[in-house]
């Protein structure tokens, strides 16, 4: 792995596993949230006010935990590898913004970022902190505790807490369809963003997968595409991945440890 990365031109493809050491669980690991949590789907969100109420009540608490999360050794090592010229690009499936917070540049956030809110009618985007302030004002006595945060930014809350949560509308067009600027389950990644990712893979010498099971096609397609082009595929992940048959090299170690050792070896 050191020899491949030392040659440069590496594109990183990261998943939820790289953020677990920052306190954000993954979806499909041994303690993955999908074992007990059903993520909000795009259809449920746009199809009913009760679905949006359920999401925003839970995400109102969950986002605060995501916003407080700090980059870990894995994120920092990726930024170091990029700063030293070994990594050319970063594609992340995560919506937590931790690669950028660690200092990585030109990160393609495949599934968006929880720090932004978009109106599905007028397409205006605003900072999440603005919506957070408005939701606090609309729900001055809202109480709840984020006992378990999920990768999509929401938490588990009882129905009797959710039903009292008040929503707010878009400040530009008064639409009720305010949504975090992230790709929900059942929603497609914007085509221009996908094309940018393929361009990075075309220009890469190798692809390094970090902390992703590659179960969903949105990330797996890039691994399959790189392998078909004859580019080395390096995978560091604890547990089986869908991309294992395409891997040139497979490492089963915690990301913080493995990436720190890799960065140190390349000094």
C-beta separation of 241 from 213 below 8 A: yes
Q: Which domains, ranges and CATH numbers included, belong to the chain?
A: 2-265 (3.40.50.1220)
Q: Which residue numbers belong to the known binding site for NAD(+)?
A: 15-35, 93-96, 211-213, 237-239, 255
Nearest to 234 by CA among 220, 249, 222: 249
Of the residues 75, 111, 130, 164, only one is catalytic, namely: 111
pLDDT in tens, the chain (267 residues): 999 999 999 999 999 999 999 988 876 555 444 445 578 899 999 999 999 999 999 999 888 888 889 999 999 999 999 999 999 999 999 999 999 999 999 999 999 999 999 999 999 999 999 999 999 999 998 866 655 677 667 787 888 888 999 999 999 999 999 999 999 989 999 999 999 999 999 999 999 999 999 999 999 999 999 999 999 999 999 999 999 999 999 999 999 999 999 999 997
| 111 given a catalytic annotation | yes
């Amino acid at each position: 792995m050191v020899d491949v990365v030392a040659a440069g031109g590496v594109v990183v493809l990261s998943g939820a596993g790289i953020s677990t050491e920052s306190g954000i669980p993954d979806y499909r690991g041994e303690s993955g949230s999908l074992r007990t949590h059903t993520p909000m789907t795009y259809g449920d969100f746009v199809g009913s006010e009760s679905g949006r109420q359920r999401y925003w009540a839970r995400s109102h608490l969950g986002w605060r935990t995501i916003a407080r999360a700090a980059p870990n050794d894995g994120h920092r090592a990726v930024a170091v590898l990029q700063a030293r010229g070994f990594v050319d690009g970063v594609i992340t499936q995560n919506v937590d913004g931790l690669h950028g917070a660690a200092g990585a540049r030109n990160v393609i956030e495949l599934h968006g970022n929880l720090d932004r809110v978009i109106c599905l009618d007028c397409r205006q985007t605003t900072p999440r902190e603005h919506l957070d302030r408005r939701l606090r004002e609309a729900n001055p006595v809202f109480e709840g505790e984020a006992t378990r945060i999920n990768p999509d930014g929401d938490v588990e809350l009882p129905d009797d807490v959710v039903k009292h949560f008040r929503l707010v509308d878009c400040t530009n067009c008064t639409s009720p369809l305010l949504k975090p600027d992230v790709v929900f389950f059942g929603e497609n990644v914007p085509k221009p963003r996908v094309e940018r990712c393929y361009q990075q893979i075309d220009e890469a010498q190798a692809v390094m997968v970090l902390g992703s099971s590659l179960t969903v096609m949105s990330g797996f397609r890039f691994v399959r595409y790189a392998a078909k082009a004859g580019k080395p595929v390096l995978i560091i992940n604890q547990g089986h991945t869908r991309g294992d048959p395409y891997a040139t090299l497979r490492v089963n170690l915690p990301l913080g440890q493995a990436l720190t050792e890799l960065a140190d070896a390349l000094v």
